[in-house]
């Protein structure tokens, strides 16, 4: 049941607590990136996961690889080449002050990578699932080509392909827009993950949902899923996450899934004391993959993915560090938070 | 008005903030244990408190003693013997993710202790109150015997005996169950402190309250207190704490007390941003002892104990560090949290 | 559009997180003081701001000056003289436990300063606005005289004078009361900033508002503003901040403004996860000055000031570190806290 | 064998590691002061020690008392009165850069204290030894008077009186010089502790030793001790510490003692990696008192005191935290530093 | 060239910097243990290394496994069973104050393990080298038996067996002495590593070297190696490390090797600013294994091992984190410490 | 006496203490760069200093500017343009383990800058001195051109031009070598600063000094200075720093100067406990500029520069934070490191 994820991993630099950048001369230094986050979450669920990327040959990149290895992620297929290790700076928000990200990922080894740099055949051998996101095609023209090559290879090799659209408006500076590039990926995708903004911007499908209001009309989501299914009949499943942003500290979190047969909606979690929401969507994707690979029903899969990613909000860093036992405990006993002793 | 408490003190190792275990190679290292927590809370209230335990003779145990001394707790009766210093690892939860405790207290000096290891006569001299919990009898057969010896000695010496049942399902591995052991303690107890789960599991008295729901039916608690009083007519007072677990970050907190004459219920505090709930029950016990020793009325005693332990939720570590002045300010002015300057 | 603020800056010593004083042998060491906070907030808004004070000539005071300079505040007019650098100890509260301040500012260089110690002519040259608070007159008799001298000089030089009453009950120990001293300042003031308690205690004007309840009757505030305007017809504008203290962690925050023509009320912000509320009122004052100096309407000015100071609650330390762009984003997009990436 | 020490305890604020003041917004916050340091060192040696001082009634002073209690020092005779808690800022030097101290102890409760503020009779009851230093008389005229009162009381009560001259050139600002004041103390002293600079400046006795060169001529020290003995025939013993300052990181450390019969010199320790030298002299004084009270020979006493204070250089903070076992291990096995496991 | 190491891994708790235990309520929390250290060092040299041990099934032990995985050590053969995770407390010394270790490893899962608990056949499959130390037999009678079983299995399977005697006087409490137990291990060993104390105490062979003086007579070491070779003719190589303890901060470090043909001595490194010496001996063992497995000459092997372990002294924690490139740079360019940029 | 320095400022990320990269998930985050370091050192000496660079418009670059402002450096001429903020990772060495720098400065705003991007006329107005280093020409072809433009402008405007060769072998990747580019700079330079390696590699002038041995033959340095003077007769002064690398922790530090008339050599400092040597050379350059601008003699200038930069070795971070008073104290009293209190 090996899963391969492919994308960029970056050094993440965040001030301590709720400080603004450089208020104290210190950064909490971890690693993250959508596809690496999915690999770590899958490994934490006990699945064999392999992460593929292109990194420079220096001591900081070595530390990124070591950190992935710590979670049991297979890193043996990572390629070393010229270019930088991408960096992103994250300032955690609170209340009405939003979290802020400053990207410093231009000219990364991943952005410089191009078709042919990775031998897909050995990477995909013995794997059943391939996961990518819409971030890699946003990095550069060559990275977009390489990403497309990866998806074609996985598709050709008979793997299930999942894609999380993950639209990032501050990327996509290399010439083409998400709308021009991503549809081709979706045509090769089996399982699509997105939020309402992704679908509108990247696929150009209209949603009658107001992404700013913090109020969600679940009925509209069924319509939206339907539109995606019509436009991309190749999709076996479509998952849409629903984040109600009440403040930087307090979100509602739920999701819906069209599993090919039914439109399903999940339990809604009220997350009142967000510790770190970065990577929660990636944990959702991992939960979805976990459920599908383990033969859970559509509803079970959806609830597992939402519960796992709900828990991610309570953990600092991009990585999820949540076990299947913990997800199941939340599903079974609810989130009353009684001390486990 | 000297109070003696007896039990185990442990090194408490917790990751910084809301990190999972060893996410950063660092532990916040403090000390705690139910009975030591009561002694510290009493000393913070200005009462002479003496803590008795058995510890190994090493530098880490020395630091535990020093830390107690810092609060003014009398440590002159602590016995040094073979065995380990118990350790407990605590991971703080948030939202739907519960706090998690990993005990490493097997083979501690306290667990190895047995009747005869402590000279109760000098320990209890000049004291008016003796406090114990249901944790010590859970540690080992010999610790249970020693605990019973302690209660018998205190009872015989005319001290008021309080006992907090504190059922811990991950302890009680030495052969007997709480249900088999604790009733004998309660028969020697004057003031019983418990929650609904303790009473059901340790005393086998049924409560029609749902401990998982986070919803509390206060009327049922009067019934429950009545059942305990019937079964143990020796009890002069029974206090039951009511924790409504909405999440790891948000609890409701209140208590009820049968003071021998009336069934009294307290103000309910909505604790929306829990800093550290470990030790809150112990602070409640200390508040109860404080009120009773100082001749407060039953209602005053109950409100003092609930307010003190409400404040404990805002303080990191097991120890309460709350003064009588601060408790009274909460009782008088409410918890509006205006800056004191 | 240069603004001059005048008052005391202190070393602020706070335990990490929610710890009580010296629970860990560590203090977070920053600087603050009402008037310095205003200067920093103005500089963060991009206005030229100059802070004037009296400091001793030692390395810790040098660090205070350097920290102000970091924000672009002009420190070239700060006077060095004998006396101490004031210190204040701050313990952050949570839930029902209030934050606590211990002042150690007696005998500071600022408290020892007296009329004649500062050459007001060069200090005020090229400035359009002068800001002071009711804290400086509370420090000592000579500081009160010097403060009055400053206001008279600014008034005479044609600057707009703003005064934030900032009543502190633990200061005012030098012989006169706020009620005896502050009205003279208000008579020289163009823009008055206060809360209901300030007005009652310092100006002796009654308010039918209950400052302890956490419940606010906005209608009563119009009356109160009217009373102040009647008593001090020189005032061009009166701003009153409305803090609803639900707990140390959760406040409502809004304000009202009589801009000389209309009584205006602001949006109310629900601040559910306070990071640091110290300095929020000073950020409000800075927002008011910013709006008035930039020709915003009364309502725009009020909303800018409230939004800026709402954001301050999310930032550790006395200083606001909020840009105009961020304030406008909150005004335009609301406080949904979506990650900015 | 109870020892009473009397003097000022201060909050000590030091940047982390070798940073300059406020390079990071953080202070390591501990407590210290010559006489408190002696009390803590004595308690660490297992002797009953009582520390007497005057402190304000606030939470920071409470923490100072609690910290002393942690070491087992008796704090029951500490007086609370008006005035501040003194503060001192310490920047640790390295190599050619010296450590730097900024005092902020003016107007402290101790400086404001005066004769009559302390009831010496109960303070001195059951004590055998009284220790004071030349720092307290340097604080203020009234503190000097109070200090003299203390020494007279101890002398009259038959206690052995020790005095460490501890000349501090940045204190002594109240009108009289050390030279005018301290001789009267020495006349009431049994055991005098000093370095060559103290003796020259405070007692006006010339020493042909060059205190700047870092080179020591031990023969000259015998002469110097002889001159002190001639001038103050009341002295039973005179100890002189010899610090060779090679750099802020590397010192030589030894001492000599005239025990009334012989002039004795100690082993010289080469301290190559100083961790914290503040408080080492106080640890020496405590070692001397320990040896004399326990009936060690003059040479044994001297070696114990030098070894103990040598070890202090390896411990952060003012306090010594060295046990008799550790001192004896150094004396017996030398300082080879093999891991103790 | 796979190497298998077998032994106990513990949680290591150390105060920050040079603080004494619990001076600050914080521990730096890492993992270590002689055999795990060897595995990590080998993995850092790029060799495939597998670590085998017995651990409890809890979250702290999981973190130990994850940390090993981070370095690329194979952890797939670790057995989970009942018992504790061992803990050791380490206080770093400086100058004349030695480092201090408090063991808390009684009743660990490793100490409870017994013959039959580990299936040696799959563990040793495809491996060429097996490494053990004299620590495991010191833990308990059953651990000693299991350790002997491991060595017999490795020997029988044709692996090269190395054993580091590592005598620890505070262990060996289960009934037999090192002298009674370890010779049997040495008889099955191909490559023996020891210091002069190990050889004297564990093998009973006299050495005319003074282990306390810090002075080394290299000639005597050749004699000593000869005696060991005579007593254990099965040994293919004997390596003896020479630590000259000048202080806790400053050591001389060198070694000698009889490689079966010649007695060789290494370069001596003067280590003047020790950062952390724990684990240096294990890094030496790893260097020896690396050299022998890679076909270096005896002298090259010895110099590689000494240089690698010299570098370990500059790295915090038990683990070495030194690459072959770095060791070779030291061998080739010397330790002038010029910045690599 | 305004001095302008021009070059790149970077974010500097260093692990805590002597840890290797990412051993703990934390970086100490400060700023540095040769020319910014000179500006900060000059400002710390009390001279008006202006730093010119090209930075991106983001929050991390804003923090760099703010940090410079803190020291009083004029930042008003800094240009914002596209490109990154350069980053460098620094791992502090100890003993035989060298410090290690990983550059991540490709594609920085400074590297992308080109002639015409900076208006030199206003930048240089009212300045007397212009300082540059050989690092900027190493960044890129366009940066080399811009740097040459800067030097020509300064020369034409009549400023004294100083240049520190600062050869960095891991830069210089854009096509030309230092040897091809830097001589043109030296022809426009008045005051040249270099070490022996710089002169050999960048100017191609042979030195009979062994840069690896750590042994220095001062006589050879006079020859070397003579060769430089012959090749570049335009030079008014040549300063050569002499670093003897004994280990990463221990260096000898001195310099020589040909001031146009005499060849002068300085005192040699033995720096036995290096805290941070990065930026020491820049502090030397600042000291040289300080001395020359203030009319010190050649010998005085040299000694000032060496003493200042000696002190820099004791201060963490790139920036020097040393005052003229402190430098003069070292010159006058030597580096005995006695506590300043």
- Contact yes or no for E129/E162 (Cβ under 8 A): yes
Distance CA A62, CA A64 (A): 5
Distance CA B277, CA A339 (A): 9
D69 and B70: CB-CB below 8 Å? yes
Distance CA E60, CA E63 (A): 5
C72 and F71: CB-CB below 8 Å? no
Mean pLDDT estimate for chain A? 96
pLDDT tens, residue by residue, E237-292? 999 999 999 999 999 999 999 999 999 999 999 999 999 999 999 999 999 999 99
Closest of D328, D321, D325 to residue D73, by C-alpha: D321
Radius of gyration of chain F (CA): 19
The tokens describing F104, both together, are 């991540």
Closest of A300, A311, A305, A317 to residue A334, by C-alpha: A311
Q: What angle do CA D282, D288, D290 make, to 5 degrees?
A: 105
F338 in contact with chain D, both atoms CB, cutoff 8 A: yes
Instruction: Using CB atoms within 10 Å of the CB of residue B315, give its burial: 0 to 12 exposed, 13 to 18 middle, 19+ buried.
Output: buried
CA F113 to chain centroid, in Å, comes to 21
Shortest Cα distance from E316 to chain F (angstroms)? 6
Distance CA F230, CA F211 (A): 23
Tally of helices (H runs) and strands (E runs) in chain D: 12, 15
- Contact yes or no for A105/A67 (Cβ under 8 A): no
C106 and D104: CB-CB below 8 Å? no
B273 in contact with chain A, both atoms CB, cutoff 8 A: yes
F336 and D19: CB-CB below 8 Å? no
Q: In whole angstroms, how far apart are CA C70 and each of A13, C311, E101, E158?
A: 22, 21, 46, 68
Q: In whole angstroms, how far apart are CA C260 and each of B233, C129, C224, C236?
A: 73, 18, 14, 5
Can you tell me the mean pLDDT for B200-204?
94
Total CB pairs under 8 A between chain E and F: 91
The tokens describing A63, both together, are 């530390």
Least trusted range by pLDDT, from B62-66, B212-216, C242-246, E85-89: B212-216
D311 contacts on E by Cβ (under 8 Å): 96-97
What pLDDT is recorded for position D224?
93
What pLDDT is recorded for position D25?
98
What pLDDT is recorded for position E337?
85
Closest of B34, B123, B117, B51 to residue B81, by C-alpha: B117
According to DSSP, the residues that pair with C50 across neighbouring strands are C4, C74
What pLDDT is recorded for position E216?
61
Q: Which of residues 105-164 of C touch D (CB under 8 A)?
A: 106-107
Residue of F67, F69, F71 lying closest to C72 (CB–CB): F69
Token look-up 């343009």 returns: F81
C276 in contact with chain F, both atoms CB, cutoff 8 A: no
Helical H runs in chain B?
34-44, 59-70, 109-112, 120-124, 136-139, 141-156, 178-187, 196-203, 218-231, 280-293, 298-312, 324-333
Radius of gyration of chain C (CA): 19
Distance CA F242, CA F251 (A): 10
C272 in contact with chain A, both atoms CB, cutoff 8 A: yes
Instruction: Using CB atoms within 10 Å of the CB of residue F158, give its burial: 0 to 12 exposed, 13 to 18 middle, 19+ buried.
Output: exposed
pLDDT string in tens for chain C (341-residue length)? 899 999 999 999 999 999 999 999 999 999 999 999 999 999 999 999 999 999 999 999 999 999 999 999 999 999 999 999 999 999 999 999 999 999 999 999 999 999 999 999 999 999 999 999 999 999 999 999 999 999 999 999 999 999 999 999 999 999 999 999 999 999 999 999 999 999 999 999 987 776 555 456 778 899 999 999 999 999 999 999 999 999 999 999 999 999 999 999 999 999 999 999 999 999 999 999 999 999 999 999 999 999 999 999 999 999 999 999 999 999 999 988 888 88
Which pairing describes strands A79-80 and A87-91: parallel, antiparallel, or unpaired? unpaired
B26 contacts on F by Cβ (under 8 Å): 24
Distance CA C223, CA A176 (A): 60
D177 in contact with chain A, both atoms CB, cutoff 8 A: no
What pLDDT is recorded for position A321?
97
Distance CA D296, CA D288 (A): 10
Q: Which chains lie within 8 Å of chain A at 3 or more CB pairs, if any?
A: B, C, D, E, F
Least trusted range by pLDDT, from A208-212, D34-38, E223-227: A208-212
What pLDDT is recorded for position D108?
98
According to DSSP, the residues that pair with C340 across neighbouring strands are A100
B23 contacts on F by Cβ (under 8 Å): 25
Can you tell me the mean pLDDT for F194-218?
80
Distance CA B314, CA B278 (A): 10
B67 in contact with chain E, both atoms CB, cutoff 8 A: yes
pLDDT tens, residue by residue, B2-26? 999 999 999 999 999 999 999 999 9
B275 in contact with chain E, both atoms CB, cutoff 8 A: no
pLDDT string in tens for chain D (341-residue length)? 899 999 999 999 999 999 999 999 999 999 999 999 999 999 999 999 999 999 999 999 999 999 999 999 999 999 999 999 999 999 999 999 999 999 999 999 999 999 999 999 999 999 999 999 999 999 999 999 999 999 999 999 999 999 999 999 999 999 999 999 999 999 999 999 999 999 999 999 987 776 555 456 778 899 999 999 999 999 999 999 999 999 999 999 999 999 999 999 999 999 999 999 999 999 999 999 999 999 999 999 999 999 999 999 999 999 999 999 999 999 999 988 888 88
Distance CA A116, CA B216 (A): 64
Contacts of E83 (CB under 8 A, 6+ apart): E54, E56, E107, E108, E109, E110, E111, E112, E113
F335 contacts on D by Cβ (under 8 Å): 95-97, 247-248
Three-state secondary structure string covering chain E: CEEEEECCCEEEEECCCCCCCCCCCEEEEEEECHHHHHHHHHHHCCCCEEEECEECCCHHHHHHHHHHHHCCCECCCCEECCCECCEEEEECCECCECCEEEEECCCEHHHHCCCCCCCHHHHHCCEEEEEEECCHHHHCHHHHHHHHHHHHHHHHCCCEEEEECCCCCCCCCCCCCHHHHHHHHHHCCCEEEECHHHHHHHHCCCCCCCCCCCCCCHHHHHHHHHHHHHHCCCCCEEEEEEEEECCCCCEEEEEEEECCCCEEECCCEEECCCCCCCCHHHHHHHHHHHHHHCCCCHHHHHHHHHHHHHHHCCCCCCCCCCCHHHHHHHHHHCCCCCCEC
Torsion angle (degrees, nearest 10) of CA F216, F219, F225, F228? -90
Q: How far apart are the first and last CA of chain C?
A: 33
C81 in contact with chain D, both atoms CB, cutoff 8 A: no
Closest of D233, D241, D234 to residue D257, by C-alpha: D241
Shortest Cα distance from D224 to chain E (angstroms)? 30
Distance CA B204, CA B180 (A): 10
F200 pLDDT above the threshold of 90: yes
E13 and B27: CB-CB below 8 Å? yes
F192 pLDDT above the threshold of 90: yes
Shortest Cα distance from E10 to chain C (angstroms)? 27
Task: For the beta carbon of residue E121, count every other beta carbon within 10 angstroms.
Answer: 9
- Contact yes or no for D339/E278 (Cβ under 8 A): yes
Distance CA A309, CA A253 (A): 9
ipTM: 0.95
- Contact yes or no for D127/D289 (Cβ under 8 A): no
The tokens describing B152, both together, are 């018998």
Q: Which of residues 16-55 of C touch A (CB under 8 A)?
A: 17
Phi and psi, residue A337, nearest 5°: 70, 20
Residue of F94, F214, F245 lying closest to E314 (CB–CB): F94
What pLDDT is recorded for position A212?
56
DSSP 3-state assignment of D131? strand
Distance CA F77, CA F117 (A): 12
The tokens describing F173, both together, are 């990747």
Q: HSE, CB side, 13 Å, CA atoms: give it for residue B88.
A: 21
What pLDDT is recorded for position C73?
98
What pLDDT is recorded for position C224?
93
D25 and A26: CB-CB below 8 Å? no
pLDDT tens, residue by residue, C208-241? 776 555 456 778 899 999 999 999 999 999 999 9
E66 and A70: CB-CB below 8 Å? yes
Question: Long-range contacts of range C62-66, CB-CB < 8 Å, 24 or more positions apart?
Answer: C62/D21, C63/C31, C63/D21, C63/D22, C64/C9, C64/C11, C64/C31, C66/D22, C66/F70, C66/F71, C66/F72
Residue of F28, F67, F107 lying closest to A107 (CB–CB): F107
Q: Residue A70's closest chain B neighbor by CA?
A: B23
What pLDDT is recorded for position E253?
96
**What per-residue string of b and e applies to D54-88 under the rule 16 or more CB within 10 Å gives b?**
bbbebebbbbbbbbbbbbbbbbebbeeeebbbbbb
D271 contacts on E by Cβ (under 8 Å): 95-96
Instruction: Using CB atoms within 10 Å of the CB of residue E155, give its burial: 0 to 12 exposed, 13 to 18 middle, 19+ buried.
Output: middle
pLDDT band at B213 (very low <50, low <70, confident <90, very high): low
C316 and A18: CB-CB below 8 Å? yes
| pTM of the complete model beyond 0.90 | yes
pLDDT band at B212 (very low <50, low <70, confident <90, very high): low
């Amino acid at each position: 049941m090996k899963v391969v994820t492919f994308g960029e991993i970056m050094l993440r630099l965040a001030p301590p607590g709720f400080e603004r950048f450089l208020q104290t001369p210190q950064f909490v230094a971890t690693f993250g990136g959508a596809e690496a986050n999915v690999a770590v979450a899958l490994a934490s669920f006990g699945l064999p996961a392999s992460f593929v990327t292109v990194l420079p040959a220096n001591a900081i990149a070595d530390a990124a690889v070591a950190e992935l290895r710590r979670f049991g992620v297979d890193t043996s297929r990572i390629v070393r080449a010229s270019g930088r290790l991408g960096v992103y700076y994250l300032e955690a928000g609170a209340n009405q002050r939003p979290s802020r990200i400053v990207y410093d990922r231009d000219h990364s080894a991943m952005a410089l990578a191009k078709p042919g740099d990775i031998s897909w055949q050995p990477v995909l051998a013995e794997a059943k699932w391939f996961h990518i996101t819409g971030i890699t095609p946003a990095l550069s023209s060559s990275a977009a080509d390489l990403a497309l090559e990866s998806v074609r290879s996985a598709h050709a090799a008979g793997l299930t392909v999942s894609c999380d659209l993950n639209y990032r408006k501050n990327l996509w500076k290399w010439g083409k827009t998400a709308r021009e590039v991503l549809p081709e990926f979706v045509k090769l995708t089996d399982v699509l993950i997105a939020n309402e903004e992704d679908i509108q911007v990247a696929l150009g499908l209209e949603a009658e949902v107001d992404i700013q209001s913090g109020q969600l009309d679940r009925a509209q989501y069924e319509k939206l899923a339907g539109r995606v299914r019509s436009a991309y009949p190749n999709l076996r499943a479509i998952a849409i996450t629903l984040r109600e942003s009440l403040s930087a500290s307090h979100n509602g979190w739920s999701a819906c899934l069209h599993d090919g047969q039914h439109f399903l909606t999940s339990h809604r979690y009220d997350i009142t004391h967000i510790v770190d929401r970065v990577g929660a969507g990636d944990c959702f994707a991992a939960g979805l993959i976990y459920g599908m690979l383990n033969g859970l029903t559509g509803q079970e899969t959806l609830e597992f993915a939402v519960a796992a990613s709900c828990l991610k909000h309570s953990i600092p860093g991009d990585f999820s560090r949540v076990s299947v036992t913990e997800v199941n405990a939340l599903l079974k006993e609810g989130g009353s938070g009684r001390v486990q002793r």
